[in-house]
Amino acid sequence: MFTNSKLAKSVKLACLFSAASLVGVAGNAAAQEDSADVVEKIQVTGSRFQRTDMETASPVQITSDVEIKLSGFTRIEDLLNSLPQIEAGQTSFISNGASGTASLDLRGLGSSRTLVLVNGRRLQPGGVYSQSPDINQIPASLVKRVEVLTGGGSTVYGADAVAGVVNFVMDTDFEGLEITAGAGGYQHNNDNEYIQGLMDARNFEYPDGNSGIDGTSFNFDVTLGGAFDGGRGHAVAYATYRKDNELRQEARDYSSCALNAGGTACGGSGNAIVPNFYMGTINDDGSYDFNGFNDYWTLNSTGFQVPSSGNIYNYAPVNHFMRPDERFSVGTFVNYEINDHFNPYLETSFMRDVTKAQIAESGTFFNEAYEIAYDSPLLNDVQRGQLTSELGVVSGENFVTYIGKRNVEGGPRASNLEHNSLRIVLGTKGDVNDNWYYDTSFQYGTTGSSAAYINDFFGPRIATAVDSEACAADSACIPYEVFTLNGVTAESAGALTGVGILNGETTQTVLTGYVTGDLDFTLPSADAPVAIVLGAEYRKEEFERLSDEVFERGLLLGQGGPTTSISGEYSVKEIFSELSVPVLENLNIEAGLRYSDYSTSGGETTYKLAADWDVVDNYKLRASYNRAVRAPNVAELFSPQSLGLWSGVDPCSNDTTTGVPELSAAACANTGVTAAQYGNIAASPASQYNQVTGGNPDLQVEVADTYTLGLVGQPMDNLNFSIDYWNIEMEDVIGSVGAELTVRQCAATGSAAYCNNITRNSSGSLWVGQNGFVQATSINLAGRAWEGIDLSVNHTYEIGEGTLTTKVIGSYMMTKEYDAIPGDESAKYDCAGNVSTDCFAQPNWRHTATVTYSTDSFWSVSAKWRYFGAVDYDGTADLLLVKEGGIGSNSYLDLKASFEVNDNTAVLVGVNNVLDKEPPLVGGSLSENGNAIAGFYDTLGRYLHASVTFKF
C-alpha cells in the first residue's frame, strides 16, 4: 500500500515471519558476522529477558499488523477467534446471556485462564457480568503484533496464565498521521430447504432469497505520532470509533425459528401469544394439587380447551443475532529519554462501549402459582362451568394456576449494557550500567459498567393484576385479562413491566519492578554469561456490583432468578526470578521461580524450566515445563448463591420427540422421580432448567502443570516451520459439576455426591416454578487434562516481479479430558473432537492457510482457507446430529486485495466466507445463538469489507 508503510513493503514477508519462525537463528548468525552492527533488543512474551531475536524456549505464535489489517475485522476478537488455538468466548454474536464484553478463550480452558497483556502488562477485567479482560479496549489499528504463548506463564506474569498468554504489542514508535475509514456488512442467500420445511410445517414466516447487505459496521481511526525534543521523546495518540448495527435472527432462514432439542422441528415456548395454563386445586391444608400437571389448558373463543401441539410461541425472530454496538476509544503512548538510566514512559487508554442485547418478549414463564377466585370477573361463565366439571371447583372457592403468556403486546426485552474503562501505566526504564537494565511501573485500571434490563415482566404486578380484589384496591392497576382470548392490551402489558439496574466497578492496581542483566560468570563450555531477572510485584483486585431491589429479589420474571450484589477484594504480594544459563554455545537453559502470597488463600509457588538447543544449523529443539496457577476471582469468591438457568435436557422428563423419558424408571428414581411422576414430567419447551449457582470464599488457587516440546527449522532461506507438542494438566479446578452431568451421573450411579444436589418440585419438574433445581455452586474439585500439537509452516517464492508467500497454522487437539470428580472414573469425559451439552464443538484438527502475492507495483492479493475438522456428537438428544453423525468438516475461503493509489492513499477490499457457507445447525440444547455455535463458525454468511487509509 504506502511506499513507507508495512502494509506496502512487508506484506510479502508477513506470512513468513508473523508465525513462530527461526528468526533467532538467522538473526544471531547475522550478528556474529557483523558485530559492529547495533542489534535492537526486544522482549518476547514468556520471559522478561531482553533478546535480539523472536525465538524463545516456549512456543509463541505471532500475528502481525499486516494480517490484522488484511483481515478486514475491526473487532479484534473476530480475528483472534479465527486462530486454531482459540475458541470463541464472549462475542458480538451472543445475545441471551451476553456480558457486553469481548473475551478470549485460549485452548477452550475458559477466558479466565487466558492472561491478556498489553505491552507485557495486564489488562484489567471488565464488566458487571464478566471478570475477564474486555479486549474491546484494544485499538486494532495500532496493534503492532499479537503474541500468543502456549502453556503456562505464571512464573513470569503471575496468576491466570494457565492456558497461556495473549500479548498485544502496540506500535509505540508510530510516525506520521494516519486516518482510516472503513465499512463492512454481511450478505446471505436464504435457501436452507431443511429448516424452511420445518417452518412451513409450523406456518412460521422466514426470509427467502438474497438478504442484501445487512449487519453493517463502520469504523473511523486516527493515529498521530512523532518525535519531540530533538528525538529524545516520542509520542503516539490514537482515537477510534466503531459502530455495529443490529441484525436479528429473523434476517436468516436458518435462525428464524428455534429448533427443538432434537433439531427435528421448530420448537418454541409454552409461554405463547394465547396463554397456556397448568390448572390445579387447593387442598384443605392449603397445599396445591396439580394432578401431575396433566390439566394443561389454553383458550378458545368461548372458554378453555386442551391445546394442540401448535400453541407455542416462536420466540426466535426478535432475538439479536448480532448485537448493535457503539465504541469510542482514545489513548496515548509517550516515551522520553532523559539519559541512559532514566527513560520515563506513560500509557493511557479510555474506552466507552454501549451495546444492547435484545431477546424475545418477556412472559409469565409458569414462574408462580396464582390463586384465582372462581367468581373473579376475569373469568366468564363457560370457564367457570369447565372449572366445576373438570376440577370440581365451585363458587366461593379458589383454584390455582401456573400461567404461560408471552408479552407480545409489550414488545421485546433487552439488556442495555455500558462499559467505561480507563487504564493508566506510568513507569521508567533504563540501564543500571553496561550489563544491567531495569523496568518499574505503576498501573491502574478501572472499568465502570452498568446493565439496565428493560421491558421485563415485574412479578409482583402480575400477582396483583390477576387478583381482582387486590387490583381494585390499587389505583394504578390495570386488570390482566389473561383469561380472555386476545384480551390483553398494550396499555395493560406496559403497566406490568419493570426495569432492573446493575452498576459495577472493577479496579486493578499493579506495582511492579524488575532488573535483568548478565552475571560475571560464564560456564567453561559456553561463550555467553549467565543472565538473571529479579523482580517484585504487588497487585490488588477489587470488584463491586450493586443490584437494585428488582434484581436482588429476582422480581423480573424473565431473569430465571435473583441477580445479587457482589463486593470483595483480594491482593497478592510476589517476588520472582528468571535465570538463563548458556550451557553450550548452542544450548541454553532457563529457569524461573515466583512466590505469591494471596490475602485469601496464602502462599503459592510457581516455577518453570525450559531449554532450547540449536541441534544443527537452522534447526532448534525447545522444551519447557511450567507450574501455573489461577487465583479465584472476586465473583467466584464472594458471589452470593442464587437461582438461575441451565440449558440442556432433563433426561427424566418426557422427550419432546418420543414423548417418553430418555432414562429408565429405576435410573430416574435415583434423581428423585417417583413412580407416579415417571412419564408425567413435561420437558421445558425452551430447554432451560433451574440451577443454584454462586461463589465460595474458601476457594483455593487452581494448579496446572504445562509441558511443551517442539522443533523449529529453516531448511532453506525461504522456508521455515515449527511443530510443538503441548500438555496441560490441571488440579483443583474452580468450577461446578454441570447440572445436566449431575443429573445423568446421579441416574447412572446413584452416588450421593451427585444425587444430593438434585431437588425436584412436587411434580418432579426441574423447571416449573422455583422449587425444583440442581445445586451447582463453585468448588475446588475437578481436574482437566489437555494435550495437542501446533504446526506452523511459512514459505516465500519469487514469481515474476512479485513474491508469493504461504503460511499455514494448524492445531490438533489430542485430548480434552474433564475429570468432574477425581477418583470417579465414570465422571471422566473427553471432549476432543466431540460436541455435547458438556463439550464445546472444538474439532481435533483446525487450520488456516494463507497465500499472498505482492508486487513492487501498486497491488497485492491474498487468499485464506480456514478449515474446521469434523466433530462427533456425544449424545442422543440432538437427533439432527445423530443423523448427520455430528458436525461435518467446514471450510471457508477469504479473498483480499490492497491497492496503493498514491504515496498517501491506500485501499483495501475483501470478502470473507466467499462461498457464503452457513454455520452448522444444532438443536436447542447445543445452540449458542440462532441454532448455531455462534461466533465460532462463521455465523451470518458472506462478509464484505472495504477501507481507505490516508497517511501523511
Residue 130: pLDDT band by 50, 70, 90 thresholds? confident
Q: CB–CB of 316/257 below 8 Å?
A: yes
List the grid coordinates of 685.
Answer: 419447551
pLDDT band of 23, cuts 50, 70, 90: very low
Q: What is the pLDDT of residues 844-854, one digit of tens each?
A: 999 999 999 99
Integer Cα distance of 931 and 259 in angstroms: 7
pLDDT per residue as tens digits for the range 745-757: 899 888 887 898 8
Alpha-carbon gap, residue 133 to 448, rounded angstroms: 13
C-alpha distances in angstroms, 350 versus 118, 156, 419, 424, 446? 14, 27, 10, 9, 10
Question: Residue 283 above 60 pLDDT?
Answer: yes
**Which position has the grid cell 491482593?**
571
Dist. CA 480–CA 557, nearest whole Å: 16
Determine the 3-state secondary structure of 366 from DSSP.
coil
Is the pLDDT assigned to residue 573 strictly greater than 50? yes
Place of cell 396483583: 464
In whole angstroms, what is the distance from residue 164 CA to residue 149 CA?
5
**pLDDT tens string 170-222:** 999 999 999 999 999 999 999 999 999 999 998 899 999 999 999 999 999 99
Confidence at residue 638, expressed as pLDDT on a 0 to 100 scale: 85
pLDDT digits (tens, 9 = 90+) for 58-88: 788 888 888 888 777 777 888 888 888 888 7
Average pLDDT for 724-735: 91
829 CB burial (10 A radius; 0-12, 13-18, 19+): middle
Distances in Å between the Cα of 339 and the Cα atoms of 332, 430, 642 are 22, 8, 57
On the question of pLDDT at 696 being above 90, the answer is: no
Q: What pLDDT does 29 receive?
A: 35
> Where does 530-673 show beta strands of DSSP type E?
531-547, 566-584, 587-598, 602-616, 619-630, 642-647
Q: What is the mean pLDDT of residues 388-405?
A: 96
Give the three-state DSSP class for 376: coil
The H helix count followed by the E strand count for the chain is 17, 46
* pLDDT recorded at residue 736: 76
Instruction: Yes or no: say if 456 and 413 are a contact pair by the CB < 8 Å rule.
Output: yes
Mean pLDDT of the region 788-798: 94
Whether 19 has a pLDDT exceeding 80, the answer reads no
Q: What are phi and psi of 605, to 5 degrees?
A: -120, 130
Q: Is the pLDDT of residue 22 over 60?
A: no
> How many Cβ atoms are within 10 Å of 889's Cβ, its own excluded?
13
- Average pLDDT taken over every residue of the chain: 89
| Cβ count within 10 A of residue 333 | 23
Q: Looking at the predicted structure, is the pLDDT value of residue 28 above 50?
A: no
For 621, the 3-state DSSP assignment is strand
User: Which is nearest to 920 in space by CA: 844, 868, 875?
Assistant: 868
Pairwise pLDDT comparison (292 vs 505), residue with the higher score: 505
Backbone φ and ψ of 359, nearest 5°: -130, 180
pLDDT, residue 52, reads 56
Closest CA to 850 of 836, 833, 837, 867: 867
Residue pLDDT, tens place only, 224-278: 999 999 999 999 999 999 999 999 999 999 999 999 988 999 988 999 999 999 9
pLDDT attached to residue 837: 85
State the pLDDT at residue 18.
40
What distance lies between CA 127 and its chain's CA centroid? 13
Residue 239 β-bridge partners: 222, 330
How many whole angstroms separate alpha carbon 496 and alpha carbon 459?
Answer: 8
Cβ contact 633:570 at 8 Å:
no
One-letter amino acid of 53: D
- Which of the four pLDDT bands, split at 50, 70 and 90, describes residue 17? very low
> Reduced to 3 DSSP states, what percent helix, strand and coil does the chain have, rounded to the nearest 5?
15, 45, 40
State the pLDDT confidence band at 2, using cuts at 50, 70 and 90. Answer: very low
What is d(CA 263, CA 201) in angstroms, rounded to the nearest whole number? 14
Calculate the CA 230 to chain-centre distance.
46
Distance CA 76, CA 103 (A): 10
* Burial state string for 80-112 with b = 16 or more CB within 10 A and e = fewer than 16: bbbbbbbbbbbbbbbbbebbbbbbbbbbbbbbb
Q: Higher pLDDT residue, 635 or 676?
A: 676
Residue 751 identity (one-letter amino acid): S
Q: Which range, of 206-210, 369-373, 769-773, averages the lowest pLDDT? A: 769-773
pLDDT for the residue numbered 424:
98
Report the CATH architecture of 6-163+172-257+320-359+416-454+501-639+696-738+776-951: Beta Barrel (2.40)
Which position has the grid cell 477501507?
947
Encode pLDDT of 43-56 as tens digits: 778 788 776 555 66
In this prediction, residue 874 carries a pLDDT of 83
**DSSP 8-state class, residue 409:** T
The per-residue pLDDT for 7 is 38
Q: How many CB atoms lie within 10 A of CB 322?
A: 27
What is the tens place of the pLDDT at every residue in 449-504? 999 999 999 999 999 999 999 999 999 999 999 999 999 999 999 999 999 999 99
Tell me if residue 319 falls in helix, strand or coil: coil
Give the confidence band of 90 by pLDDT, cuts at 50, 70, 90. confident
**Span 883-891, average pLDDT:** 93
- What is the average per-residue pLDDT within 365-369? 90
- The region that residue 12 occupies, defined by phi over 0 for left and psi between -120 and 50 for alpha, beta otherwise, is alpha
Q: Map grid coordinates 468438516 to a residue.
A: 889
What pLDDT score does 14 carry? 38
Q: Which residues contact 284 (CB under 8 A, 6 or more apart)?
A: none
Residue 122 has pLDDT above 90, yes or no: yes
Tell me: pLDDT of 4 over 60. no
Query: How many CB atoms sit inside 10 A of residue 6's CB?
Result: 17
Listing DSSP states for 232-260 in one string gives TEEEEEEEEEEEE--EEGGGSGGGSS-B-
3-state secondary structure of 628: strand
* pLDDT over 70, % of the chain: 95
pLDDT for the residue numbered 42:
67
Query: What value does the mean pLDDT take over residues 406-414?
Result: 95
pLDDT in tens, 616-642: 989 999 999 999 999 888 888 888 877
In the prediction, which pLDDT does 11 show? 36
Contact at 8 Å (CB) between 211 and 941? yes
Report the C-alpha dihedral over residues 34, 35, 37, 38, rounded to 10 degrees: 150
Dist. CA 814–CA 221, nearest whole Å: 41
Is residue 850 classed as helix, strand or coil in its secondary structure? strand
- End-to-end, the C-alpha distance of the chain in Å comes to 13
